[in-house]
Amino acid sequence: MPAKITKIARRLRSSGPYSSKIIKAGALIGDTKTLLSHWDVGASVDENISRVRRDNVFGKASRSRVEDILAIFRHRYLTEQSVTKALVTLVQKRFPTAALEWLFYFHSARADRLLYDVVTEILVPLHARGWVDINVHAFQRSLAKWVNEEKTIGQWSEPTIIRRHSVKRSRKAPVYWLLQSSKRNYSIWLFYHRLNKDMLFKALMKYVEPKIRLESTRLDALNSQRRSAGNSSKEAKGLARKIEAKEEFLSELRDFEEKLRRAANLHLEPDLNDGVVLNIAPLWELVPWKEAKNYWDELLKGEYEWSSIGKQLRQKRLVK
C-alpha cells in the first residue's frame, strides 16, 4: 500500500467511532460547486467562510442548514490549501462535472472514516470480484453489522442507517430519460448525451404530434362506425366504450404535448457540465422522478448560480 494512503488510513483508524454527522450535509455536489465557484484563493479560509455566510451564496433559508454545510465542507475540502486551490481552479474553469464528482467523492471518503471504510472494506472487495452494482439491503446489512460491533457513536436506528447509506445511493444520473404521460399510457425516451436545444421540439414534431394525429384519425373512424351501427345494437355499445377510451387517451396525449411544449419553449441550451439533475429539472412534469421538481424549484429560487442553466434562467428573468 502506498505510504500516503497508509498515512490516511492510520489517521482515520485513530479518529474514533463512526459518526453520523454527514447525514446533515449529504452528497451536495451542487452546493460544493457553488462554494468553490465563489472561493477567493487569495483570502483565508475564515475570510471566505465569513463572506459565504454574509452573502448567503447557497440561497438557503435556514442559517443552521448553512452552518451544517460549511462544517462538512471545511472538513472535506478546506484543510489542505493545495487541495482547496486545485478544486477551486477546476470548478471555476468549468472542469467536466462527471470528473469533478469523482474528486469530490474521493475527498469526502478521505475525510470521513466511515466513508473510507465503506470504500476499502465493502466496495473495493466487491469490485475485485467483478461486481458493478450493489444490493441496497446487503449494503445496509454491512452497516448494521458495524453498529452491532459498537463502531458507531451510540446505537443507530434503521432509518439512520438508510439515510447514511443514501449519501451515495441517492445520486441519480440516468443516461436514458423516460418522459411519460400522466397515466403512463404514452412515453418517449431521450438519450442524455445527445441532448441539445432542439431535441424537445424534434420530439414534439417527430413523435408526439404524429401520434396525436394518428389517434385523432382512429377516433374519427370509430365515430363513423358508431353512426353506421346506430344506437341500440350491441356493436354500438362496444364502439361507445372504445370511443370513450380513445377520447381519454387523446386527452392524456394532449396534456403530455402541452407539458413537453412548455419545457421546449423555455429555449434552454443544455450543458452536460451542469450534470443530469439540473438538465432534467425543466422536464419535471414528465419524468417519473420527484426530485426533478425539487431541483427546478431551487433553480427558480436562484440556486446553482454557477450552472449554465442557472445563468440562462436569470437572463430570461425566470428566477424569482
Give the pLDDT mean for 126-146.
Answer: 62
* Strand 176-180 relative to strand 187-191, pairing: antiparallel
Task: Of 146, 101, 131, 106, give the one whose Cα is nearest residue 5.
Answer: 106
Cα dihedral sign, 82-86-87-89: positive
**Residues for the chain: how many in total?**
320
Q: Which residues pair with 191 in a beta bridge?
A: 176
Of these ranges, 44-48, 164-168, 283-287, the one predicted with the greatest mean pLDDT is: 283-287
**Mean pLDDT lowest for which of 64-73, 81-90, 198-207?**
64-73
pLDDT of residue 177: 85
Q: Which of 207, 206, 174 is nearest to 288 (CA)?
A: 174
Q: What is the pLDDT of residue 149?
A: 63
pLDDT-derived band at 260 (thresholds 50, 70, 90) equals: very high
Q: What is the pLDDT of residue 135?
A: 54
pLDDT-based confidence at 195, cuts 50/70/90?
confident
Give the mean pLDDT of 136-156: 61
Joined together, the cell numbers standing for residue 220 give 374519427
Residue whose entry in the numeric block shows the C-alpha cell 413523435: 207
Residue 297: per-residue pLDDT: 93
- Band (pLDDT 50/70/90 cuts) for residue 317 is very high
| Helix pair angle (63-77, 81-92), 10° resolution | 110
Q: Which amino acid is at 95?
A: F
Predicted TM-score of the model (pTM) = 0.51
Q: What is the pLDDT of residue 147?
A: 61
Cα(192)–Cα(189) distance, integer angstroms: 9
Spatial neighbors of 31 by CB under 8 A, at least 6 apart, are 58, 69, 73
Using the Cα atoms of residue 97, residue 103, residue 109 and residue 112 in order, give the sign of their dihedral.
Answer: negative
**pLDDT value of residue 183:** 92
Q: How far apart are CA 260 and CA 254, in angstroms?
A: 10
Does 182 score more than 90 pLDDT? yes
pLDDT-derived band at 86, boundaries 50, 70, 90: very high
Which pLDDT score, from 0 to 100, does residue 156 have? Answer: 46
pLDDT the model gives residue 313: 95
In this predicted structure, the answer to whether residue 48 has a pLDDT above a threshold of 80 is yes
One-letter amino acid at 244 equals E
Q: Who contacts 160 (Cβ-Cβ below 8 Å, separation ≥6)? A: 20, 23
Give me the mean pLDDT over the 230-234 stretch.
72
Cell of 202: 424534434
CA 9-10-12 angle, to 5 degrees, is 65
